[in-house]
Amino acid sequence: MNGRAMCWIAIALAVSWGVAWAMKGGSSPEKVCSLAFSNGYRLERVPVATTKAQQAHGLSGRASPGKGMLFDFGQPERLAFWMKDTHFPLSIGFFDGQGRLIRSEDMEADSEHYHLSLDPARFALELPKGSYQAHQVKPGVAMKVENCTNF
């Protein structure tokens, strides 16, 4: 086999490995959940970022926010988010270990400004900008994660 053929085989293997990696634990969430809020608001089939790779990538590089994204860190911790490579504005909410909203704020597109939870939070929920205000999800409103499925 000549060098050129070996090169094409190596490229094909690298591409197939990359696709397999992305499908198994890459940066795209593999789980969706329904979110029920104590004020009656409900969201269906929201992607959930649970791995460090998924959480680091978030909604960056997408054309739209879609249904948003829930970030589940497992245990409450102080969280920091930014909007680098995210081309649309979002609102973020930080939820404590019991699922109660601690605080929310709007985030501008393509910004490297940090948005902090201030207090330990288990969850962060990114939604299209203005969603928290539009649906009256205010500090103290509780969020319940339910009906999770892999896709």
16 belongs to a structural domain = no
Cα 122 off chain centre by? 13
Q: Which of 116, 69, 103 is nearest to 88 (CA)?
A: 69
Domain span at residue 84 reads 26-150
43-75 pLDDT, tens digit per residue, is 999 999 999 999 999 999 899 999 999 999 999
| DSSP three-state, residue 103 | strand
Tens-digit pLDDT profile for residues 109-151: 999 999 999 999 999 999 999 999 999 999 999 999 999 999 7
Q: What is the pLDDT of residues 25-39, one digit of tens each?
A: 457 778 999 999 999
67 part of a folded domain = yes
C-alpha 4/C-alpha 102 separation (Å) is 58
pTM beyond 0.85: no
CATH number at residue 54: 2.60.120.1140
Kindly state whether residue 17 falls inside one of the protein's structural domains: no
Please report whether residue 126 resides in a domain.
yes
